[in-house]
Amino acid sequence: MTELLKKLCLLDGVSGNEENVSSAIISEIDGHCDWHLDNLGNIIAFKKGKKPSKRRLVIDAHTDEVGLIITDITSDGFLNFTTVGGINTEVLLSRRVRINGNIIGVISSKPIHLLKGDAKTNLPDAKDLYIDIGLSGKTEAEAVVSVGDRAVILSDFTIAESKILAKALDDRIGCAVLVSLLKADAEYDFYATFTVQEEVGLRGVKTAAFAVEPESALVLEATTASDIMGVPPENRVCVLGEGAAVSFMDKATLYDKPYYDAALGSGLAVQPKRAVAGGNNSGAIHLTKEGVRTLAISVPCRYIHSASCVADINDINSAKALAEYMIDGICSGKIV
């Protein structure tokens, strides 16, 4: 699964521009399940198992990543931009970016020796940053870049012992796990959705869940791990290396208590997410039609929404194992 994750992370797929990621996923799952694309670009798949499921189950992962979108081209050939999804300004400064898959630039601002007073020590506003692609004027820049084009912060894919460092681990981790579930033999029928535009308001999943009409859902995600220097143990939310994290509540969802309890009682390496913060596609899925019993299975990730996300391979394997456990329990009726 590591090679698949590398393949997916190195692709660019900012919200609204996920086609490269979707095409790679389709090339992996084609022949292992029935699938189709909806009008927004969601992949909706059905995996035929050896037995029918007692509940209509969907497993979801989102294909998009945070990034940038070009809003203007200046007379000097610099590019103004805004963020797509939640990105802190400090992770943008002086980073290289890739636009449209082949144009390289650097995020720039006024150099420090031209700053005065508090501006020398305070972070610049995101609106004061720009992208320099090395061209000398608006006409040259407009020949290769247009307003509305997306950009990603450049990153490689590095494995150090059990740790992976890469961009877009949120949520290419979930995509890789879901692909592996679809490619394996299944005991029970289930649905799978690879959804778009999660980072800009849980948009794609709304149409996908409406189409599938699930009774139960598992959402495969990456989530913020704060087991870093300067954060006391009681504020660390979840920890790398201690298994998949399951949430009891976040800012968008109150999770199904029996599913949460079943996950923690599975005997697998699982940890509770010890904070009520953030949200994911569960927020839209669990409110679909007559309501959907939902559990999020998340992989702890340091420095999330940056070009240097860090996750543990053991936690990714734990997320897959927990998903398999929950699929069997929900579809068989053993988890009620």
DSSP state letter for 114:
G
In sequence order, what DSSP letters do the residues of 312-336 get, joined into one string? EHHHHHHHHHHHHHHHHHHHHTS--
Q: What share of the chain is helix, strand, coil (3-state, %, to 5)?
A: 30, 30, 45
C-alpha span between 297 and 259 (Å, rounded): 11
- 161 is written with which tokens? 């012992």
C-alpha span between 18 and 22 (Å, rounded): 6
With beta carbons less than 8 A apart as the criterion, state whether 15 and 197 touch: yes
With beta carbons less than 8 A apart as the criterion, state whether 144 and 79 touch: no
**Rg value, the chain, Cα:** 21
Report the DSSP beta bridge partners of residue 152: 98
In sequence order, what DSSP letters do the residues of 276-294 get, joined into one string? -----THHHHTTSTT--EE
The residue from 198, 199, 215, 221 that is catalytic is 198
Q: What Å distances lie between residue 26 and 31, 169, 292, 335, CA to CA?
A: 9, 19, 26, 31
What is the number of H-type helices and E-type strands within the chain?
A: 8, 17
- 27 is written with which tokens? 């090339």
Does residue 213 have an active-site annotation?
no
- 6 is written with which tokens? 């590398």
Question: Which positions are annotated as active-site residues?
Answer: 198
